[in-house]
């Protein structure tokens, strides 16, 4: 792993906040302790995201939204923005805890289209005038911050994931995503 300077969306979770989230008392902690052992350490990690402008017709009006898709394999949850993050919302950091983009433009476009259609259908399938989406990739790339909590138990290391922008613990899909990266 090499060190590089990357542009990161400013996190809303500090290291102390992450440690508290992973160590919180309650049923979740009990579950993780029984399933995966005790919390050993935490680390920040950064995932590249591409920004897309998506236009579609809903209720006879043209909607335009900005979505960000992870550029690794497109499996993480989409982010939605009112506007492209500006320089005051980003910061440059030097780190080696970042993933490399691996998606092609074609794969990213296809995955984003499927995910956006799911988002639109949740708002009301019958409001959508056409399944045609106009998707344009914006010339912006930045990294989203995550916190990983590492648990060791039963001879295996597991990780929990905290989205450092939305301040929420992610599920099994995100844990598998990062465990796969760590194993590579």
Chain centroid offset of residue 101 CA: 13
- The answer to whether residue 35 scores a pLDDT higher than 80 is no
| pLDDT score recorded for residue 157 | 80
| pLDDT score recorded for residue 94 | 97
pLDDT, tens digit, 9 for 90 and up, residues 37-68? 778 899 999 999 999 999 987 777 788 999 99
Using CA atoms, how far residue 137 sits from 84, 86, 98, 150, in Å, is 12, 16, 22, 35
CA quadruple 149, 153, 175, 166: dihedral positive or negative?
Answer: negative
**Distance, CA of 18 to CA of 2 (rounded, Å):** 25
**Distance, CA of 99 to CA of 71 (rounded, Å):** 9
**Distance, CA of 161 to CA of 178 (rounded, Å):** 8
At 29, is the pLDDT very low, low, confident or very high (cuts 50, 70, 90)? low
| pLDDT score recorded for residue 106 | 96
- The domain ranges of the chain are 4-183
For 60, other C-beta atoms within 10 Å of its C-beta total 7
Using CA atoms, how far residue 98 sits from 35, 105, 143, 183, in Å, is 27, 20, 8, 14
| pLDDT score recorded for residue 127 | 61
| pLDDT score recorded for residue 60 | 74
pLDDT, tens digit, 9 for 90 and up, residues 127-181? 666 667 899 999 999 999 999 999 887 777 889 999 999 999 999 999 999 999 9
Which residues on neighbouring strands pair with residue 4, listed in sequence order? 95
pLDDT, tens digit, 9 for 90 and up, residues 86-120? 999 999 999 999 999 999 999 999 999 999 988 88
Overall pTM > 0.85? yes
| pLDDT score recorded for residue 119 | 85
Using CA atoms, how far residue 139 sits from 52, 68, 82, 128, 179, in Å, is 9, 12, 16, 28, 30
């Amino acid at each position: 792993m090499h060190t590089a300077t990357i542009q990161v969306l400013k996190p809303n979770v500090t290291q102390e906040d992450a440690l508290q989230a992973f160590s919180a008392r309650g049923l979740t902690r009990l579950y993780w302790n029984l399933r995966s052992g005790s919390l050993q350490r935490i680390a920040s990690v950064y995932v590249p995201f591409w920004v897309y402008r998506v236009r579609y017709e809903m209720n006879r009006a043209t909607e335009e939204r900005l979505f960000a898709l992870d550029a690794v394999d497109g499996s993480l949850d989409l982010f939605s923005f009112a506007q492209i993050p500006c320089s005051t919302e980003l910061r440059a950091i030097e780190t080696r805890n970042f993933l490399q983009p691996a998606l092609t433009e074609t794969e990213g476009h296809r995955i984003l289209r499927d995910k956006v259609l799911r988002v639109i259908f949740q708002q009301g399938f019958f409001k959508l005038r056409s399944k045609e989406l106009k998707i344009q990739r914006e010339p912006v790339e930045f990294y989203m911050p995550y916190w990983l909590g590492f648990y060791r138990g039963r001879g295996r290391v597991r990780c929990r994931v905290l989205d450092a922008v939305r301040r929420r613990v992610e599920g099994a899909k995100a844990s598998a995503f990062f465990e796969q990266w760590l194993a590579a």
